[in-house]
Structure 1
C-alpha cells in the first residue's frame, strides 16, 4: 500500500484525471447537474452540491458560534475556580487557540469550495443566491457533515489513519489479487466500490494493477472533498486540525489541537468517481462489473434489498461480490436483517459463498464461509475512546 509523501506541485482538476472515461463521466455529470434535468428540489444533485458548498463556506461561522457557546459556559465558573484553571491550564488560551485553528480550517474549507466551484462550473452569484435563500428560510449550514468530511481525510488520506486502513485493506486487497488470477482474461477487471467516501480503498485497488476502478459516493460533502484532492499531485498537501470541534476524549490539549496533513499518497489517475445513488447511478450497466467491493457500506441502505438487487444486477455472471463491514443500521431502514438472514437471502438470489484466507478473520459460523474481523472506526487514534466492529467478510459468486 502506498503511504509515502507527495512531491510539491499541483494541477487543475481538468488535467489531473483526463482519460476518455473521465471525460465521458464528466459530461454525464454536468447533464445531471443541470437545473432543468429532473425535478428541482432538495434531492436534486445540484441542490445537494450547493448545500455542501454552503456548509464548507460557512465552516468558520458555524464553529465560531459553538466556540462562543463554550466561552459563555465558562463564564459560569466561579472566580476562584477560574484562577486555578488559568494558573494551571490556561483555559482561556485554549479557547483562543481553538479560535485561531477554526480560521485555519476555514481557509482550507474555502479552498475546497473554490476547487468545487471550478470543477462543477458554479459561479459565485449562484452560491450567494442559495445561501441568501437559506438565510431567509432560517436554515443553517450543515456543520456536522463538514467536520465529518475533515475527519475522513484522516481515516483515508493521512498517516494517522493507517491503523484503521490496515485492519481492513489487506484482506480486501489480497482477495482481489487472488480473484485477478482466476478471473482475468488478459484485460483489466472492472471493479466498482460503492459508498467510497474519500476513496482511498479504490486507489489502493488501482495501485495493484490489472483493475479498472470505479468508485461511487452519494454524499456531496465527500465528493467535493474528493474533487479537492484531485487538484493535488506530487508532494503537495494541505494541513487541517480535525479534532477541535469537540472537547471530549482528549488525553492532552495538544492532541486536540494537533495538525494533520493530507493526502499522504498520490491519487491514482485511473480511478473514476461516479457520483450519485448506487441504486440508480449505474442504470444501463447490467452485468458490466467483474467485482463489486462493499466496504463499510451495506448497512447504510434505506432498503437493503435494493442494494442486494443492484449488486446482483451490475455483476456479470461469475463475477464476485466482496464485502467487509458491520451491520449498524441507520435511521428508518425498511428492513434490518441479521447476518444469518442476509446469508439466506443472498443464497436465494443465486450467489454462492466462497472461502477467504485466514487473514480475513475467523469463521463467524463454523458451517458457513463468512468470516469476522475486528476493524476500528474512530478517526482519532489518540482519543480516550475506541470504536471497533466485528466486521463481516465474505466473497460471493454470482451464478
Structure 2
C-alpha cells in the first residue's frame, strides 16, 4: 500500500470499517424492521387483532426476533477478528481513524439479482478494519444492510445442502467442461485455474478438491469476510445455522418455511487433501491480472483455465476484461463462462459499457477467442424454494480457446 497517499489509506480503512459495522449492526436494523410489523399490528381494530392472534401472528413476530438474534451471532463470528485483513501499520491507522466515511471512495456497487443478490460488489480491497469505538460513529446505509442480508443467502447458495441444486445447475457444467478439456487426471495438479469474482469460493474449493491448483479472486469484503470464516475457521459439517428468509414476509408459502433454519457448511472446508493448492486473492481483477511492468508480477500466459461464473457483467469496460482473460491464458488454455449480463455499473456515475449477448460473443471473437459449446442454462440465483416468487436467468454458457497462433 506504499503507493497510496495517507488520505487514500484512511479512506480505505474507513470503507472497510463501514462494512464490518454493517455486519455488527444487522441485529438492530432487522429488529427495527420487525418492530414496525408489531407496531402496525397494534394499530388494528381489536377484532382484527384477535383474528390475527388466532393465527399465531404475534408469536410469529416474537420468533422472528429470536431468529434475528441467531443470525446476528453468526455474523458477529464472521467479523470477530477483522485484524486478519490488516498489517500492524494499518491496524494502528484504524484504531486512530476518526474521520467520516467517504462514500465516494471505494463504494460497493451492486445490482440485485432476483430475490437475493448476484452481488459482485465492487469495494475497496485494502485489508483494514477499525475499532468498535470508531465503528459506532459510522452510519450504515440501507444498501449495506441489503448486502449483509444477501450474504446470508450467498452462504446458503455456496455452502449448504439446500443450495446444492442451484450450484449444480451452473457449477457442474463448468467443472465438466474443465475435465473434458483436461481429461488426463494425472495432469490436474499442474493445471492452474483462476476464478475471478469467486464470491464465497465454493467453485474454487471444488476444483481444488479434485486436484487442480486453484486461485479465487474476489473484490468485495462482504464476500471476503465470510469466505475466510468458512474456509479457515469452520471445521465441522453443519457447524452453524442461519435463517436467511425472515427479512421479508412477502410471497412466503408458510411461516414455517420462512423461518426454516439452514445449516452450513455441508462439507468440511478443511477436508481438502493435504496436497491441495488452493488460494484466494483479494483485489480488483483488472489491477491484479492486467499488464505489469515487473515481469515477475506479470500474469501473461500463466493460467491454464479461467472460469467466470456470474462475473463478466461486473465489468465497467468489457473489452478490457476479455482482453485480460485472453492474455493470461496459456496456449491451449480454456475460458469457461456461465452467467447473465446484468451490467453492474449501468446507470451509475462510473464508466459502463453495456453490450448485448450477441455483441459480447462477437467481441470475444475479435479479441481472439473461438467460442464452443454455446448454450443457455436456466437458473435462479440465491433463490428460495419456499417462496411464491422465483427469478430465472437465461445464463449464457460457453467454452472458449485462443485462436491458434
Query: TM-score under structure 2 normalisation?
Result: 0.79
Give, in whole Å, the separation in 1 of the partners of 2:29 and 2:206. Answer: 35
Structure 2 residue matching 1:133: 3-state secondary structure: coil
Provide the residue aligned with 1:343 in structure 2.
361
1:278-303 Cα shifts (integer Å, max 9, x gaps): 11123422221111000111112222
Shift of 1:205: 1.4
1:58 aligns with 2:25: yes
Give, in whole Å, the separation in 1 of the partners of 2:22 and 2:143. Answer: 5
Provide the residue aligned with 1:381 in structure 2.
385
Q: Conserved in 1, the CA contact under 8 Å of 2:170 and 2:338?
A: yes
Match of 2:280 among 273, 277, 282: 273
In structure 2, do the counterparts of structure 1 residues 106 and 183 end up closer, same or farther at CA, with 3 Å as the change threshold? closer
Alignment of 1:159-174 (within 5 A): 159-174=161-176
Shift of 1:92: 1.1
Q: Conserved in 2, the CA contact under 8 Å of 1:214 and 1:271?
A: yes
Structure 2 residue matching 1:352: 3-state secondary structure: strand
Shift of 1:115: 3.8
Structure 1 residue matching 2:150: 3-state secondary structure: helix
In structure 2, do the counterparts of structure 1 residues 282 and 238 end up closer, same or farther at CA, with 3 Å as the change threshold? same
1:346-392 Cα shifts (integer Å, max 9, x gaps): 111111123x3xxxxxxxxxxxxx21121222332221111111111
Match of 1:116 among 70, 75, 82: 82
Structure 2 residue matching 1:142: 3-state secondary structure: helix
Q: Conserved in 2, the CA contact under 8 Å of 1:115 and 1:228?
A: no
Provide the residue aligned with 1:394 in structure 2.
398
Give, in whole Å, the separation in 1 of the partners of 2:227 and 2:59. Answer: 34
C-alpha RMSD of matched pairs (Å) = 2.5
Provide the residue aligned with 2:320 in structure 1.
306
In structure 2, do the counterparts of structure 1 residues 380 and 118 end up closer, same or farther at CA, with 3 Å as the change threshold? same
Provide the residue aligned with 2:48 in structure 1.
81
Q: Conserved in 2, the CA contact under 8 Å of 1:108 and 1:238?
A: yes
Listed as ranges, the gaps of 5+ residues in structure 1 are: 1-30, 357-369
Aligned residues: 348
Query: TM-score under structure 1 normalisation?
Result: 0.80
Structure 2 residue matching 1:170: 3-state secondary structure: helix
In structure 2, do the counterparts of structure 1 residues 292 and 141 end up closer, same or farther at CA, with 3 Å as the change threshold? closer
In structure 2, do the counterparts of structure 1 residues 55 and 171 end up closer, same or farther at CA, with 3 Å as the change threshold? same
Q: Conserved in 1, the CA contact under 8 Å of 2:240 and 2:265?
A: yes
Q: Conserved in 1, the CA contact under 8 Å of 2:182 and 2:188?
A: no
Structure 2 residue matching 1:92: 3-state secondary structure: helix
Shift of 1:215: 0.6
Give, in whole Å, the separation in 2 of the partners of 1:47 and 1:314. Answer: 33
Once structures 1 and 2 are overlaid, which stretch shifts more, 53-62 or 304-313?
304-313
Provide the residue aligned with 1:201 in structure 2.
203
Give, in whole Å, the separation in 2 of the partners of 1:140 and 1:378. Answer: 20
In structure 2, do the counterparts of structure 1 residues 181 and 47 end up closer, same or farther at CA, with 3 Å as the change threshold? farther
1:90 aligns with 2:51: no
Shift of 1:182: 7.2
Give, in whole Å, the separation in 1 of the partners of 2:141 and 2:86. Answer: 24
Alignment of 1:319-330 (within 5 A): 319-330=333-344
Give, in whole Å, the separation in 1 of the partners of 2:238 and 2:360. Answer: 44
Q: Conserved in 2, the CA contact under 8 Å of 1:119 and 1:227?
A: no
Provide the residue aligned with 1:156 in structure 2.
158
Q: Conserved in 2, the CA contact under 8 Å of 1:206 and 1:271?
A: yes
Shift of 1:257: 0.9
Listed as ranges, the gaps of 5+ residues in structure 2 are: 96-129, 291-297
Q: Conserved in 1, the CA contact under 8 Å of 2:194 and 2:306?
A: yes
